[in-house]
Structure 1
């Protein structure tokens, strides 16, 4: 059985309530884990708050997303006039559909209904094409991490243990896609630099440790 992976993260258990009830209703295996963001060698710690991660089997991602959309059918006629999506342009609404992983299921469903009311084709085929387009975009490695590569080499030569973490991160870090699959986060050349930094960092740490012990004696 494939390992559980994070499907969605919530700032509180109350915010996750509807999703958890949906999973229980349809008897979909899941687990919840409170997690404090760990140290990221590239970005550092962005904040100290903990999040509730809802984890599913990757094969259930698509099914749960469909169930969420079906459970959150909004009534356009009953929306408040100040509902922000009502003021979105067609292109902005299509952007919501394309980047569905960044929006709630309610927002995605409402955007689809608004576009349908405006005469646009938002059939299942169109949604699938947008989903594949999004996955293709997200699967691309990020831009070159030049500044961190330079910093990694400098820290490796100075014996900094941080170089080991930077090298490992550049070489092995993977990002989780909305469909539950994982892809390497950085381009091949950056990964090669990461491997070099990792090896140099380890060698440098051993050398500096040896010098420290020698001087100590």
Structure 2
């Protein structure tokens, strides 16, 4: 059984998508053993507790320096003994020590088709604002492994979403969530839990094997 820890900063809709997919049997051989947020007031913690999942807040504001926070965050993650860490809208840069400790065991969901609209400053609604400013006709979402770079890890899966002429950042964000993010992220967890993907020479290889 794959032990999953989810890190989230906001409302937790991607977290909920994983919770629902596990409950529906769409994600097999995986369980969420903990949820960590950097904000104690967000709905994601409530979503976790409603599902019977331990949920805690580890906020940079509660520590004297970013280095001390990084140590505390990594220590809390280790307490849950995860096999996989999922960044589901986690807006805090995770420490390099965590990336090294959990190499090819951390995945992230990004609301664009990487390499478009990614990197420093591209997160949440800002991504969709920039996509509309640029006038792109197709956007989407990407699930990727996390490495030391910003949105540069091996890509696991992508799904395209059409941009409509009357879109606002909010309507586009919602469509990308519904048509891409909430489908891609649970599927990636299921694929990892059941041995269907691996990283070879810096790229993700999909297989048909089952654990």
> Could you say which TM-score interval applies, normalised by the shorter chain?
under 0.3
Which structure ranks higher in relative contact order (CA pairs < 8 Å, sequence separation ≥ 6)?
Answer: 2
User: Counting helix residues as a fraction of each chain, which structure ranks higher?
Assistant: 1
More strand by share: 2
Which one has a bigger Cα radius of gyration? Answer: 1
